[in-house]
Chain A
Amino acid sequence: MSTLQWIDARSVEEAVALLATPGAHGATIAKAGGLDLLDLMKEGIVAPARIVNLQRIDALRGVQFIEAAGLRLGALTTLAEIASDATLRRNYPALAEAAAHAATPQIRNAATIGGNLLQRPRCWYFRNQLFHAARAEAGRDQSQYGAIFDNAESTMVHASTPATALLAYGASVHVVGKQGKTRTIALGDFLLPPDFDRDRDTTLASDEVLTHVSVPAVAAHTSAAYHKQTERDSYDWPICDVAVVLTTKDRRVETARIVAGAVAPVPRRMTASENLLLGREIDEQLAAEAARLAVRDATPTQRNGYKVQVLETVVRRTILGAMR
């Protein structure tokens, strides 16, 4: 019978030290909210010998606003806290919306932003012990929910929806490793395409702890919107989600970031659409053109072609939503 050891780490340093020391009988895994970890353990995808619980580390908590630097989200900030913080909602509405529409109320109360970014893909094959052991996903995805871009190797998509909004706001993640060595990584570089052969889908090293996420301050005249398109409202994984963050001057777009999740292995910047908007005033027609550009290079599989139309719709609607 397998047993496991549970250690409550009291500091980031202690957590890093524990993660850096191999457990006696196998892997050591850090736990924040524990939601994805428990799922993976139940499915037999991971079997940690030692769990390092981060929940007792107060330094990992808190939502802070720092004048010029912007927003600092401790890794243990729950999705519910992000969704309900009034200042955050006002300044980063797309992020608040993304957090508010993730999972269910019960899960949002326990799930942390750090864990959310580090969660593994929800691919049916990835989550099945049999296929997982065989590394057997490519080319036989029966799911209608997989990637429509960059899907030649795999249709697995990163599962985090807050990541879509965070990427649109230009967020970075901060990690601490051995000897207190810190790294700051742009979120776009941090997330990696999901892969059976890695034990994570980020550039986080096995002996590093994600400490916080930073989001730059929003400029004046910034408008933003987020939409997660699902089959069900109550609780569902996305067909796609889209975050749009724009700055305007005299109604003309000065900067634009449009990001779509669940359509590519990692959240995808729609740069052609962004460029189209620059210097122009947004109206129905321009939004429709930008949306068409967003899906121009889509390569859907036999089963997920409908996602192209859904994505085009959601990009158009979210651009318009940001201007409202």
Chain B
Amino acid sequence: MSASDPREDRTILTGIVGDSLQSVTRNVPVEEPPELPPNSELRVIGKRVNRVDAVPKVTGQARYTFDVQLPGMLYGRIVSSTVPHARIKSIDTSAAEAYPGVRAVHILDRILSIAQLRDPSVEANERYPLVRYHGQPIAGVAATSMRAAKAAAKLVRIEYERLPHVTSLEAAMQADAPVVFAGPTEQAATAGGGGAAPGLPQEGNLRGPARGGLGGGPRGDVQQGFAHADHILTREYSTQVQTHVPMETHGLVADWRDDELTLYASTQFVLSVRDDAADIFNLPKDKIRVISEFTGGGFGAKFGIGNYGALAIHLSRKARAPVRVVLDRREEHVSVGNRPSTIQRIKLGAKRDGTLTALQVESYGTGGVAAGAGVGFCHSTMYSIPNVLTEHYDVFTDAGPSAAFRAPGQVQGIFALEQALDEMAHTLGVDPLALREKIDTNDGDDARARKVERRIGAERAGWAQRRPPAADPGPVKRGLGVAQSQWVYIVHGTTTCEIRIRGDGSVAAITSAPDIGTGTRTIMAQTVAEELGLRAEAIEIRIGDSRYPAGPAAGGSRVTSSITPAARNATHAAARDLATRVAPLLDAKPEEIVFQDGRVFVRGRSDRGFTFAEAVRQAGVDEIVHRADRREDYDGYRAKIGDLHISKQALGGVQFAQIAVDTETGVVKVERVVAVHDCGRPINPKLIESQIYGGVIQGVSYALYEERHLDPDTGVHLNANIDQYKIVGSRETPDIEVHVIEQLGRQSSTDARGVAEPANVATAAAIANAFYNATGKRIRTLPMTPANVLAALRVENDADDEDLA
């Protein structure tokens, strides 16, 4: 599909259903199927269809990577560093190799998923990769049982030459801090995003400043903007390190054969696993097959092959047998990703009426040994602010690497920005929602959506009844807060779907995209079923195999936006093909043939037709196969970074949180969240609600509980389990009321967009703003543990404001 495809102008109704629909003219490739009407006129799309794979999941039949068992399979165990920073002097594997049942031992010669020295010659003389955090993978052992592998792994003798280390962001920023990397570093983005801007200066552990990213970037002149302000506030916010904790840990089963390498991977993107394996093992891509039938969550951290995956392949090659490497919970916490911590200094200038004049942000974040710990792009992309300057520094520490994590950077950035706006609103005596109404005026789908979402949310959350701060006389104080969300609307460039209509009337839709738990099979089935007039349950969906036509990565909220147009386009072509074959049998023209309610008939004459299966039989179809691509958005993109295509439009979302603060114990309880979101055309409201529940729950967990604790003396991750790493439980889950609007953006053949990330962006900020409404005090430090809450409540006056009026 190229830009030179013939196009035509189509006049289409666009906008928010039930609010404002208007005609626009879009220049659309002529091959695109006709635009879909609003969901109320559709039969499968937009309906609360149950997950088509619900039964296999709850009965345990669904095969996750964790469940993969192959004949002769060996169990791999990783040997990790027991020091935070060191040069490895020697590794003795002889005792491990001699251990009964051990079939292979491998020592890693490079460490993936961390920042890499710009000039590798700096460490060219090192015999082994330097150790830069406690728990860094060093080697692997494969044995006939897990017990043998564990026992043998303990016998690998490693002699270290210790180097000084530093584990906290603040300490690593000091001029005399031990240096994690001996020279400037780079970190490329994974297929899931992340990475750091290239070529930035690096001094000591500080890499930066980065100014911008994903549409962010400086504009205007902040000094001038502050000069025109009536009021300036300066605030510092800090956020903690959060680990991903997916239900299924990272894992890979490698089966190395002479003719093919087969990998079973718990991944968000089978093609990233294939490409990494091809690169590292110098294999042609078509000699590698990656299978991922079900993935138990990823949240951004499951891209590429990882050190564990590389070890599994090395061990399989050496042992000539399949090798399974599945991380345990400790390894999962320590070595395969986290959301970086931040310190954010915000200076915000406004006119008395709330007009913003300037925003300046200086931020520091540590992703341990990984770069790319920024605070998102919201500062430049959300609001009408003429002068913006953001400067971000990555700070390296001897800690496990960060990875993309559900709206990377934006969650941290929004926590600070949306609270700073709330502070400004209170300072100016303006209602926080009214302030958003005034400044949230960019010409974009996200701003248009939020305008409607604010109205709906305010009504449902009872914003009009909101009381002044600290209105409750007793020790338990309740409050209501609001925060807004924004995330990029992303399309995966190379997205193809294949449709097969077989002689027996069965239909299959095929793509390589995996499902990380969001319901990929179901939304594909609905899209195909709508086009063919069938039920979603009748469609066979085959996904998660690199041999299938290339599908999108399950990251960046892009699966639905990418795969549903491809699926519709392919199904549309197949349906037209079938119509051409059926039409003569019904004495009709192909364009008169419609597919509806399981039947194929002549438009307006439902008696003149067949059941779908009959139609296929009568037409003498052996098999109809059509493939189609996800065409580019009709208005093109703002940026393309490989297959990551970033729309000119964005995703909105507004969340309201009602909380109760026990001011004597410091315990915060989130009682209710009203989450109003947009995701283009909602394909399956039930699955969308499920995603938003997850986003809110993860946001509550981030706001109140989750925090990685490292021991500064040793670099040990002290709470690397789910007993002491605290995650929200059922009783801490608030009542969540979801409302999803239907926004027809008219940029693709389904208008579908994602929702996974926006659902997680605003929650912590909404809770923080509710905290102020409840107590009259600000909490600018996450998580809101009793220790942090009681400290925040003790502060008398922490406003650092300049009133210039």
- B719 CB–A CB distance under 8 Å: yes
- B543 CB–A CB distance under 8 Å: no
Interface residues of A in 100-155 (CB under 8 A from B): 122, 124-125, 127-128, 130-131, 140, 142-144
The answer on a CB contact under 8 Å between A122 and B665 is: no
Across-interface contacts of A143 in B (CB, < 8 A): 709, 718
The answer on a CB contact under 8 Å between A232 and B732 is: yes
Q: How far is the CB of B74 from chain A (nearest CB, A)?
A: 15
The answer on a CB contact under 8 Å between A232 and B729 is: yes
| A170-178, A247-255, A264-272, A303-311: which lies at the interface | A303-311
Known: A236-B726, A309-B666. 6 other contacts (CB 8 A): A1-B101, A122-B724, A124-B724, A142-B711, A234-B731, A310-B786
**B475 to chain A: closest residue by CB:** A313
Q: How far is the CB of A311 from chain B (nearest CB, A)?
A: 10
**A127 to chain B: closest residue by CB:** B724
- B730 CB–A CB distance under 8 Å: yes
A-B contact pairs, 19 of them (CB 8 A): A2-B151, A124-B709, A124-B724, A127-B724, A130-B714, A131-B711, A142-B709, A142-B718, A143-B718, A229-B665, A231-B705, A232-B726, A232-B732, A233-B732, A234-B731, A239-B786, A306-B666, A313-B664, A313-B665
Q: Name the contact of A235 in the complex, choosing from B151, B666, B729, B786 (C-beta under 8 A).
A: B729
- A51 CB–B CB distance under 8 Å: no
One digit per residue, 1 when the CB lies within 8 angstroms of any chain B CB and 0 when it does not, for chain A 221-242 equals: 0000000011111111001000
Q: How far is the CB of A5 from chain B (nearest CB, A)?
A: 16
Across-interface contacts of A304 in B (CB, < 8 A): 787
Across-interface contacts of A313 in B (CB, < 8 A): 664-665
- A277 CB–B CB distance under 8 Å: no
Across-interface contacts of A130 in B (CB, < 8 A): 82, 714, 716
Across-interface contacts of B151 in A (CB, < 8 A): 1-2
- B439 CB–A CB distance under 8 Å: no
The answer on a CB contact under 8 Å between B791 and A232 is: no
- A99 CB–B CB distance under 8 Å: no
- A204 CB–B CB distance under 8 Å: no
Interface residues of A in 306-320 (CB under 8 A from B): 306, 309-310, 313-314
Across-interface contacts of A2 in B (CB, < 8 A): 151
CA distance A142 to B710 in the complex (A): 8
**A304 to chain B: closest residue by CB:** B787
Q: How far is the CB of B170 from chain A (nearest CB, A)?
A: 15
The answer on a CB contact under 8 Å between B709 and A234 is: no
Across-interface contacts of B730 in A (CB, < 8 A): 234
**B724 to chain A: closest residue by CB:** A124
- B667 CB–A CB distance under 8 Å: yes
Q: How far is the CB of A74 from chain B (nearest CB, A)?
A: 28
Q: How far is the CB of B773 from chain A (nearest CB, A)?
A: 22
Chain A interface extent, by class? 20 to 34
The answer on a CB contact under 8 Å between B667 and A124 is: no
Q: Top 3 A-B pairs ranked by shortest CB distance?
A: A234-B729, A233-B731, A124-B718
Q: How far is the CB of B698 from chain A (nearest CB, A)?
A: 15
Q: How far is the CB of A156 from chain B (nearest CB, A)?
A: 14
The answer on a CB contact under 8 Å between A142 and B790 is: no
Interface residues of B in 711-760 (CB under 8 A from A): 711-714, 716, 718-719, 723-724, 726, 728-732
What is A's interface to B at a CB cutoff of 8 Å? Answer: 1-2, 122, 124-125, 127-128, 130-131, 140, 142-144, 229-236, 239, 303-306, 309-310, 313-314
The answer on a CB contact under 8 Å between B714 and A314 is: no
- B57 CB–A CB distance under 8 Å: no
CA distance A230 to B729 in the complex (A): 13
**B147 to chain A: closest residue by CB:** A1
CA distance A125 to B719 in the complex (A): 9
CA distance A306 to B794 in the complex (A): 11
The answer on a CB contact under 8 Å between B726 and A231 is: yes
Q: How far is the CB of A228 from chain B (nearest CB, A)?
A: 12
With A235-B729, A236-B726 already in contact, the answer to whether A131 and B787 are too (CB < 8 A) is no
With A142-B709, A144-B785 already in contact, the answer to whether A125 and B718 are too (CB < 8 A) is yes
CA distance A229 to B665 in the complex (A): 8
- B100 CB–A CB distance under 8 Å: yes
- B148 CB–A CB distance under 8 Å: yes
The answer on a CB contact under 8 Å between A233 and B790 is: no
Q: How far is the CB of A217 from chain B (nearest CB, A)?
A: 34
**A2 to chain B: closest residue by CB:** B151
The answer on a CB contact under 8 Å between B148 and A1 is: yes
With A140-B711, A231-B667 already in contact, the answer to whether A303 and B787 are too (CB < 8 A) is yes
CA distance A236 to B713 in the complex (A): 27
The answer on a CB contact under 8 Å between A310 and B718 is: no
Q: How far is the CB of B702 from chain A (nearest CB, A)?
A: 14
One digit per residue, 1 when the CB lies within 8 angstroms of any chain A CB and 0 when it does not, for chain B 119-154 equals: 000000000000000000000000000011001000
The answer on a CB contact under 8 Å between B786 and A306 is: yes
With A122-B724, A234-B729 already in contact, the answer to whether A142 and B712 are too (CB < 8 A) is yes
The answer on a CB contact under 8 Å between B731 and A309 is: no
The answer on a CB contact under 8 Å between A232 and B731 is: yes
One digit per residue, 1 when the CB lies within 8 angstroms of any chain A CB and 0 when it does not, for chain B 95-110 equals: 0000011000000000
**A313 to chain B: closest residue by CB:** B664
Across-interface contacts of B723 in A (CB, < 8 A): 122
**A134 to chain B: closest residue by CB:** B714
Across-interface contacts of B714 in A (CB, < 8 A): 130-131
Across-interface contacts of A233 in B (CB, < 8 A): 729, 731-732
CA distance A118 to B791 in the complex (A): 35
Interface residues of B in 665-720 (CB under 8 A from A): 665-667, 704-705, 709-714, 716, 718-719
Across-interface contacts of B664 in A (CB, < 8 A): 309-310, 313
One digit per residue, 1 when the CB lies within 8 angstroms of any chain A CB and 0 when it does not, for chain B 254-271 equals: 000000000000000000
CA distance A233 to B667 in the complex (A): 10
CA distance A236 to B704 in the complex (A): 14
One digit per residue, 1 when the CB lies within 8 angstroms of any chain A CB and 0 when it does not, for chain B 640-676 equals: 0000000000000000000000001111000000000
Q: How far is the CB of B712 from chain A (nearest CB, A)?
A: 7
CA distance A306 to B666 in the complex (A): 9
Q: How far is the CB of B627 from chain A (nearest CB, A)?
A: 48
Across-interface contacts of B790 in A (CB, < 8 A): 306, 309-310
CA distance A234 to B701 in the complex (A): 13
The answer on a CB contact under 8 Å between B729 and A310 is: no
CA distance A232 to B729 in the complex (A): 7
The answer on a CB contact under 8 Å between B791 and A306 is: yes
CA distance A127 to B718 in the complex (A): 9
With A235-B729, A306-B666, A309-B664 already in contact, the answer to whether A124 and B719 are too (CB < 8 A) is yes
CA distance A231 to B712 in the complex (A): 24
With A140-B711, A310-B665 already in contact, the answer to whether A1 and B100 are too (CB < 8 A) is yes
**A124 to chain B: closest residue by CB:** B718
CA distance A234 to B666 in the complex (A): 17
Q: How far is the CB of B187 from chain A (nearest CB, A)?
A: 28
Across-interface contacts of A1 in B (CB, < 8 A): 100-101, 147-148, 151
Across-interface contacts of B718 in A (CB, < 8 A): 124-125, 128, 142-143
Q: How far is the CB of B653 from chain A (nearest CB, A)?
A: 26
Across-interface contacts of B724 in A (CB, < 8 A): 122, 124, 127
CA distance A131 to B715 in the complex (A): 12
Across-interface contacts of A124 in B (CB, < 8 A): 709, 718-719, 724
With A1-B148, A232-B726, A233-B731 already in contact, the answer to whether A144 and B787 are too (CB < 8 A) is yes
With A128-B716, A143-B718, A306-B791 already in contact, the answer to whether A231 and B785 are too (CB < 8 A) is yes
CA distance A122 to B665 in the complex (A): 22
Across-interface contacts of B728 in A (CB, < 8 A): 232, 234
CA distance A119 to B325 in the complex (A): 33
CA distance A99 to B712 in the complex (A): 36
CA distance A143 to B548 in the complex (A): 49
Q: How far is the CB of B113 from chain A (nearest CB, A)?
A: 24
The answer on a CB contact under 8 Å between B787 and A306 is: yes
CA distance A303 to B712 in the complex (A): 14
Across-interface contacts of A239 in B (CB, < 8 A): 665, 786
Across-interface contacts of A236 in B (CB, < 8 A): 726
CA distance A232 to B709 in the complex (A): 18
